[in-house]
Amino acid sequence: MNDLLARRLALLDKPEHLDLLRHCRHGLEKESLRVAPSGNLALTPHPEALGSALTHPQITTDYSEALLEFITAAEEDPLHTLDELDAIHRFAYNRLGDEILWSQSMPCILPGEAQIPIAEYGSSHTGQIKHVYRKGLAVRYGKAMQCIAGIHYNFSLPEAMWGVLQRAEGDTRPARTFQSERYIALIRNFRRYSWLLMYLFGASPAVGKSFLQNRLHDLEHYSDKTLYLPWATSLRMSDLGYQNNAQAGIQPCYDSLESYLGSLRSAVSTPYPPYVAIGTRHDGEWIQLNTNVLQIENEYYSTIRPKRIACPGERPIQALGSRGVQYVEVRCLDIDPFLPLGIDVTTARFLDAFLLYCALEDSPLMPGEECRECTANFAHAVKEGRRPGLLLQQHGQARELVAWGLELIDTIATCAEQLDAAHGNTFHREALDAQRAKLLNPELTPSARVLRTMSREKLSFFEFSMRQSKLHAQAFRDRPLDKDATQAFEQRARDSIARQLEIEREQTGPFEDYVADYMAAIEPDERKSC
């Protein structure tokens, strides 16, 4: 442990500050494909009983009409976050009929590209922007790639903690600036060490062969219907299908919030010749929002994002520029097919300790060479993370993954101990012990468990995933919500539909003008407050 990390932990360990870490916040966004009883992608519309995908606070869709996304509030206790996610699942299953939710990050059996339904959000300008954006994703990357699902972990440290650190370090900048820069520093360290998360939690070492039909790939044949890589942890986070597109040239700078936003502003404003050749409309119908490198900032695919809750009508890039970073969104977690929710509290508590370490550890700027090194380490971990003796690079020096991982766990343990001291328990240390065991025995990792189960029970990727999906579906259906909770969900569904209709009445005028105004709104508006 370096001196800076030790000093910061000692400061937070003082009696007057010890309670601060009780107030970290955790939120989850979990994507799941709706599938028919056959295991094929559901081609039905988003169930009306679940409410409006445009306005419901907890139940929406991501890319496809069949790709549900469940969203929790940000809670101080991750158990409460998981309880809310559990309740959303139980309500949804009560309204899905005979459909079930796919238990894997990699997709179920998909129809041809033309038949994969893009999410619909109604006739309002806001809803149409969301729909056309997704049409653009289809044009740029193909529909099948957009059906990959994952879990996003939203995490924030208490603002009062940043104030304590700022005063102790004699930093005289505005509090908002200090907090934003510390979150950006967290992101730099996350990029340095996120390969560890892929080893520990990657759960997608295999995929159905039909997913990559007629596409080049470097996967091996597991069986007639299954492709895999023997040492892979997360094919979801590999480069499958994302080669040779405009995003390959985007390298956001994480030196500061402003440099990061500058990279995104450039990407959403710079035409990309292949997209220019396609145009924005075909036979008068919108097919993408614009012909720039990115249609909007959310198109940039990243393992972690700085975030700020946006006001109505405000773009994420504006919210960050106006009011700074509020939390981070970790985007590289696979759905664990052995867990009904795809994630559990042990994972959440490890992530808390890991992210606290990334926030408090020294985080020098990352020159281009280190950036490339981190990208390569991550790529090695997702494709061959369990390979015995796998070597990564740290500042040009070879590091054996397991030894480096164990060293990191030992250092992160100091942050886990601080969290446990604040909460008066040993839960975070126990979560670290569970991850240390995976480094000592790779057969304990989710990716190894998937392949071992498939091999032992002679199952294809589809057969294994279908079995897990049915098991989880039955577990949720066996625990229906009580009457009051059900009625509360039903009311939120009705309210969301009413709100969508209200928006559709309010938004008038040419859609082209609305798109032009939205595309132009990339600079911060200091006057806007929510």
- Cα–chain center distance at 278: 29
Determine the average pLDDT of the residues in 204-209: 96
Using CA atoms, how far residue 121 sits from 29, 60, 68, 223, in Å, is 19, 10, 13, 39
515 vs 290: CA distance, rounded Å: 9
Residues with Cβ within 8 Å of 151's Cβ and at least 6 positions away in sequence, in order, are 28, 29, 30, 31, 333, 334, 335, 342, 343
Q: Which two tokens stand for residue 160?
A: 């009062």
Q: Give just the sign of the alpha carbon dihedral 477, 483, 488, 494.
A: positive
101 vs 40: CA distance, rounded Å: 11
189 vs 323: CA distance, rounded Å: 23
Beta strands in 57-187 (DSSP E): 59-61, 67-71, 100-101, 151-156
CATH number, residue 393: 3.30.590.20
pLDDT given for residue 238 in this prediction: 93
Residue 471 placed within a domain = yes
DSSP per-residue letters across 132-163: HHHHHHHHHH-TGGGG---EEEEEE--HHHHH
Q: Which two tokens stand for residue 19?
A: 């309670």
- Is pLDDT at 218 greater than 80 in this prediction? yes
Q: Which two tokens stand for residue 301?
A: 């695919």
Residue 525 placed within a domain = no
pLDDT given for residue 248 in this prediction: 72
Determine the average pLDDT of the residues in 1-14: 92
Q: What is the DSSP letter of 268?
A: T
What mean pLDDT value characterizes the chain?
95
Residue 420 placed within a domain = yes
Q: What angle do CA 242, 385, 352 make, to 5 degrees?
A: 90
The single residue listed with the structure tokens 């009062």 is 160
Tell me which residue of 101, 133, 103 sits closest to 120, measured CA to CA: 133
pLDDT given for residue 529 in this prediction: 67
User: What are 30's strand-pairing partners?
Assistant: 70, 151
pTM of the model: 0.96
Q: Give just the sign of the alpha carbon dihedral 286, 292, 297, 300.
A: positive
Q: Give just the sign of the alpha carbon dihedral 261, 365, 185, 233.
A: positive
Tell me which residue of 276, 269, 430 sits closest to 345, measured CA to CA: 430
The single residue listed with the structure tokens 């419901």 is 56
Helix, coil or strand: residue 67: strand
pLDDT given for residue 312 in this prediction: 85
Residue 526 placed within a domain = no
- Is pLDDT at 313 greater than 90 in this prediction? no
Residue 290 placed within a domain = yes
Q: Count CB-CB contacts under 10 A for residue 457.
A: 10
Range of the domain at 175: 3-520
* Spatial contact of 154 and 74, defined as CB atoms under 8 Å apart: yes
Residue 75: half-sphere exposure toward Cβ, Cα within 13 Å: 15
- Is pLDDT at 214 greater than 70 in this prediction? yes
Tell me which residue of 119, 133, 49, 530 sits closest to 326, measured CA to CA: 530
**pLDDT tens readout for residues 465-496:** 999 999 999 999 999 999 999 999 999 999 99
pLDDT given for residue 232 in this prediction: 98
* Spatial contact of 75 and 327, defined as CB atoms under 8 Å apart: no
Tell me which residue of 397, 370, 368, 392 sits closest to 380, measured CA to CA: 392
Determine the average pLDDT of the residues in 261-274: 94
65 phi/psi in degrees, rounded to 5: -60, -25
- Is pLDDT at 249 greater than 80 in this prediction? no
Q: Which two tokens stand for residue 38?
A: 């056959």
pLDDT given for residue 526 in this prediction: 66
Q: Count CB-CB contacts under 10 A for residue 284.
A: 5
Beta strands in 369-471 (DSSP E): 391-394, 397-400
Residue 368 placed within a domain = yes
- Is pLDDT at 440 greater than 90 in this prediction? yes
pLDDT given for residue 242 in this prediction: 53
Residue 529 placed within a domain = no
Residue 498 placed within a domain = yes
pLDDT given for residue 527 in this prediction: 63
**pLDDT tens readout for residues 137-195:** 999 999 999 999 999 999 999 999 999 999 999 999 999 999 999 999 999 999 999 99
Q: Which two tokens stand for residue 188?
A: 């730099």
pLDDT band at 212 (very low <50, low <70, confident <90, very high): confident
**pLDDT tens readout for residues 388-405:** 999 999 999 999 999 999
Looking at the 3D structure of the chain, how many domains does it have? 1
**pLDDT tens readout for residues 8-34:** 999 999 999 999 999 999 999 999 999
Residues with Cβ within 8 Å of 356's Cβ and at least 6 positions away in sequence, in order, are 21, 24, 157, 415, 418, 419
